Structure 1
């Protein structure tokens, strides 16, 4: 294989030989990580929960989670190694050279500090400019993220902003000192499609305008398809495939990448979502040879013996080698694109780059076309209602949120509720679940009226109607182990005790694709996606008849999401489980829901069978949601689009 020529311009960020381990001499969390990111380029890190994405993201700031440490490697920012810097110097370079945008800004922003003061604090800590210049910079950076910079907005507290506004404040804080490198950790998780589109446009524009290199950690491959220039696919602490976005999406060379793409839902057709069998191995439990071989549909006996090196695959399926000469402007934009050859990262300005991966059967894998199974159409009849909501009007204090909502969920039916942030989706689900008591109207379960508060409901009703929260970081008791969290409802409702309860907990963990090793761990040792799966297992432990899901898949990678959807579909078929599914993911709605209700400003503006609403939307609001959905921006939507 010929070697790409090295550009005279150094990359903004260069990672080589990065290894992060647990404790001293413990197993690796990530190892052998090498990549470059150029000015203005966005590199996406994708993979299942626990693959090491966030570990790499935090290591780019010379930081690790509790219990882990950086054991080897370099992270060079404009040629200077951040990992070798003294602690004081490293702290000074964080924020000024490399900045971080967290997954949950509501948890990372100080709730008792006004927005303007929090942004100004970044400038104060780094002694940037005069006091007057700092005040001006705060207003300037808010304008860059399309937020008002007036005194009234600067005086607001975080709880007075929407989720999209909070995320843009976090981006503004990251861009305040105009860093060279930006690390974004799932910044659009939990956002509706319209807010997500605005946030992504902000990131794209600011990176291009200020020539910022960005590392974008995400599990949302639809977002990657619209935002990233290159993609690095992570599995079990390794980069298993890296290359230009359009080439990896069109012809994935690694079986793992292929399996992830097959698990992606489509808003245009109801696909049968297929999760990857088994679960990703945790540090210390990874198999010999190729780390994916025990879950791989293409594996041979030799795959278990030797771990393959990161090498270039051949172009297409013709057998011609990848070109590495200067082939003109980059296909992904007017920015340099970087890649790696073996262990050495190199920079090149060509758009025709090799895809690098770890698989001895890459040529065979790429020769197989990607195939998606389309689900059979669901019946159009209305089943007997399990949940009936009539004239529901909800408020927070004197502020009305919902205005006369009517909705039904039939037995063995999934009804999706979609809409932008602030439309009232979560208020509706919380009122039904007994978590919000300020409402009027009628909510009935199997003909029995439900009192507003959960504490006023009978034990049988609390068991039958279960709620899964959106935020897995706040939904689990941090003092309890995973085993105890899932075991508690079994004991509380008299479903199992002793050894029988332990066995049942392990079964539930397996159903949500969690390793038995998490049984004795506390939530702080788990990723966001793993925590959400624990919350789902806890709800399923009650053997509910109605499951209220509030954005439950927003923190899950596509493979686990597919497995959860498959599990919920199985429970619908075997136990007649009914679901009210609140989500912003319209593609997931297509594969899961039988009917969909579109909520806007506390009113249902459109309701009907899923195919009718998504294929022939009558409301302008629904049409806009579909236009903002990743992958649908250029497609005609509805007759009035």
Structure 2
């Protein structure tokens, strides 16, 4: 196969990958042209990553593989979690220089610096002295991209490169991958972020249950989908509207809060109030202090000055000093639901335990309430007695929500709980939260998110930038007529990614 512009540089023919007799990729054929972006989209478990890794010649341990994989040159990989592939004990200079060792010694440093620049990393000289843990997630991602460039990759497989990233960082990732394609490198994008796919992909392949069910342009698939799953996938991206409920009296109030990490102030909130029955979305870039704020409210981050009051009563800074009723009143749902569960106990046991521990319910009553709540969140009975490893990410996130609800909280803190989910599962979770506001008028929801589309379902939006509260007001006003330059940049970048 030739590797000229537009020519096919990698190809799969009738690829089938089985593990334990179950096909996780089933009859996939795919052609990857040079200088173009080919996207694979679908739900978690649809076979995207296995298909992408097959282009690198990599398969799961113990897999039975049939079909054909052809490649005209080297392939590089940009993983979803780049820290997992960067040796933490080696500086960036060592990680990259090793890949240039076949070139004359005098050329190596220049090649390394050039690869870092091509990966759009500022201050390449300064980065060479750092270890991976001293880099942000975005910087780690671009270092893995620099590694692929040093290897002379003609195909780059980017696996969920924007998961958990704020809008401005997403835009930069789009620009980076578009620059690769402009240089004639084939880019294979594995993603559930349809905004990024629309902004970047030349051709989109929709996967479900290991098969490609439909292919075409992003706009074509959105406007005239043929497969029901494609229709459901794009329909899940329809706009949100604020809840049709009216917020009541103040419940949680923040006064002069300054949170610190290692004595350095990272969040400053002069005043912020949450009302009964209200959804408040807190938005901002990664590292802006959103999670630190939520953890301070929950008693998980106690290094702060100022006061947080619940119904006018100050809350202790540490959850260890809070009463059972205070613990029950403010509940936290974590971004990484899987890490928040005990892997050795069933879902039903862990959900019901909340009512026993925080409300003093009997075991029988707690288990009955847990069954009812899990069922109300569309988690079917066969899942209740399974351990966390047997549930999908979306199922676990709903189980985490059920566990928090069994405390009968006044305030529910949801920290980026949909950022790693596919559009359909994300829609299900967010529709569930909207329904909760209608059915539980005493519940107040604080939604931490970097996604302005998600923020549209809130009554009010508060914007954080570099730890400062820069803007706050009704959601429609903030999202359509922002006053602060940072919020304006967020809304404009979101519109650009969405093509509006």
**What TM-score, normalized by structure 2, do the two folds share?**
0.90
- Aligned residues, how many? 495
1:583, CA displacement in angstroms?
0.6
Q: Is the 8 A contact 2:178 2:200 kept in 1?
A: yes
2:437 corresponds in structure 1 to: 572
1:119, CA displacement in angstroms?
3.3
Q: Does 1:584 align with 2:450?
A: yes
Q: Does 1:153 align with 2:135?
A: no
1:430 corresponds in structure 2 to: 295
Q: Which of 462, 483, 487 is the equivalent residue of 2:327?
A: 462
Q: Does 1:76 align with 2:70?
A: yes
The 5-angstrom pairing of residues 22-33 of structure 1 reads 22-23=19-20, 26-33=21-28
1:459, CA displacement in angstroms?
1.8
1:259, CA displacement in angstroms?
1.4
Q: Deviation per CA, 1:178-225: give whole Å up to 9, x if none.
A: 21221111111111100111111111112321x222221111111111
1:473, CA displacement in angstroms?
5.6
Q: Which of 249, 255, 261 is the equivalent residue of 1:384?
A: 249
Report SS of the residue matched to 1:128: coil
Q: Deviation per CA, 1:587-628: give whole Å up to 9, x if none.
A: 1111x2110011112211111000011111111111100111
1:499, CA displacement in angstroms?
9.7
Q: Is the 8 A contact 2:205 2:216 kept in 1?
A: yes
2:32 corresponds in structure 1 to: 37
Q: Which of 46, 58, 76 is the equivalent residue of 1:99?
A: 76
Q: Does 1:221 align with 2:194?
A: yes
2:182 corresponds in structure 1 to: 208
CA RMSD of aligned residues (A): 2.9
Distance in 1, Cα, partners of 2:471 & 2:492: 16
Distance in 2, Cα, partners of 1:200 & 1:560: 24
CA distance 1:502–1:27, change in 2 (3 Å): farther
Q: Does 1:181 align with 2:155?
A: yes
Distance in 2, Cα, partners of 1:72 & 1:499: 52
Report SS of the residue matched to 1:560: helix
Q: Deviation per CA, 1:528-567: give whole Å up to 9, x if none.
A: 5555444444434434331111111101111111111111
Report SS of the residue matched to 1:168: helix
1:11 corresponds in structure 2 to: 8
1:248, CA displacement in angstroms?
1.4
2:357 corresponds in structure 1 to: 492
**What TM-score, normalized by structure 1, do the two folds share?**
0.71
Distance in 2, Cα, partners of 1:114 & 1:633: 38
CA distance 1:242–1:475, change in 2 (3 Å): same
Distance in 2, Cα, partners of 1:206 & 1:170: 14
Q: Deviation per CA, 1:34-93: give whole Å up to 9, x if none.
A: 111100121111112222222322333333446x61432222112xxxxxxxxxxxxxxx
Q: Deviation per CA, 1:341-371: give whole Å up to 9, x if none.
A: xxxxxxxxxxxxxxxxxxxxxxxxxxxxxxx
Q: Deviation per CA, 1:387-421: give whole Å up to 9, x if none.
A: 11111101112321122432111111110011112
Q: Is the 8 A contact 1:163 1:191 kept in 2?
A: no
Distance in 2, Cα, partners of 1:214 & 1:165: 19
Q: Which of 214, 219, 244 is the equivalent residue of 1:241?
A: 214
Q: Is the 8 A contact 1:52 1:234 kept in 2?
A: yes
Report SS of the residue matched to 1:51: coil
CA distance 1:541–1:403, change in 2 (3 Å): same
1:470, CA displacement in angstroms?
2.3
Report SS of the residue matched to 2:470: strand
Report SS of the residue matched to 2:412: strand
1:20 corresponds in structure 2 to: 17
Q: Does 1:451 align with 2:316?
A: yes
Q: Does 1:63 align with 2:36?
A: no
Distance in 1, Cα, partners of 2:424 & 2:305: 40
Distance in 2, Cα, partners of 1:474 & 1:98: 32
Structure 1, 439-448 or 160-169: larger mean CA deviation: 160-169
Q: Which of 481, 484, 494 is the equivalent residue of 1:619?
A: 484
Report SS of the residue matched to 1:225: helix
Unaligned runs of 5+ in 1: 1-6, 79-95, 272-374, 636-641
2:137 corresponds in structure 1 to: 163
1:629 corresponds in structure 2 to: 494
Q: Is the 8 A contact 2:199 2:499 kept in 1?
A: no
Q: Is the 8 A contact 2:251 2:311 kept in 1?
A: yes
Distance in 1, Cα, partners of 2:324 & 2:286: 32
CA distance 1:569–1:32, change in 2 (3 Å): same
Report SS of the residue matched to 1:12: strand
CA distance 1:409–1:40, change in 2 (3 Å): same
Distance in 1, Cα, partners of 2:226 & 2:411: 42
Q: Hey, which of these two has a bigger chunk of helix by percent?
A: 2
Distance in 2, Cα, partners of 1:400 & 1:469: 23
Q: Is the 8 A contact 1:110 1:158 kept in 2?
A: yes
CA distance 1:225–1:13, change in 2 (3 Å): same
Unaligned runs of 5+ in 2: none
1:150, CA displacement in angstroms?
4.4
